[in-house]
Amino acid sequence: MNDICRHTRFLLAFVLAGTAAATAQAAETTYRVDPEHTYPSFEADHMGLSLWRGKFNRTEGSIVLDKTAGAGSVDIRIDVTSVDFGHEKLNEAAQGKELFDSASHPQASYRGRLQAFADGKPGEVVGDFTLHGVTRPLTLKILAFKCTSHPMLKREVCGADAEGSFQRDEYGMAAGKEYGFDMTVKLRIQVEAIAEPSVAKSS
């Protein structure tokens, strides 16, 4: 009898563990970045006289979020050839070897983990930023975060505004350093992402 009881308890524990795992997995949602509402932007020093500001017009990626577990990940890919300073000649110059060198490094990326959750909302992203072929750690602070139902798509959409800063010469982009340019670049990522439609699994 004791052996039967132990076996029954083992099976019950196994079933409960599997149920808990399935529930946790079901709480995880993947959101596809909306390129029409996602524009990473930045500002950089120009000899201490002014700040250059620009944005990237083409971005893609995904966000995975589990509000219940307080976990998630971010994968953002940026087309650096889409940089837009609002100045055509500067846009062209930025593609050269002194800055983005887009012929060799056409894409920048940011991949990280969502952390510091409060009330189901993440407070920061801890990850790695790849630019100009160099990858370094970069933490982004999330200034705003909200999820709601998309009025037209009838699926959940989440939006966030995150910021961080880095030294561009650490990424091999030291143009202007000899003239006293501050190498600090402030990066800000404005992003909206739409939940992927659920797909029923066949038995």
Q: Structural domain boundaries of the chain?
A: 28-195
Which top CATH class is 28-195? Answer: mainly beta
Please, are residues 90 and 141 in contact by the beta-carbon 8 Å criterion?
A: no
Q: Report pLDDT digits (tens) over 55-100.
A: 999 999 999 999 999 999 999 999 999 999 999 999 999 999 989 9
Q: Report pLDDT digits (tens) over 135-183.
A: 999 999 999 999 999 998 899 999 999 999 999 999 999 999 999 999 9
Instruction: Give the global pTM.
Output: 0.82
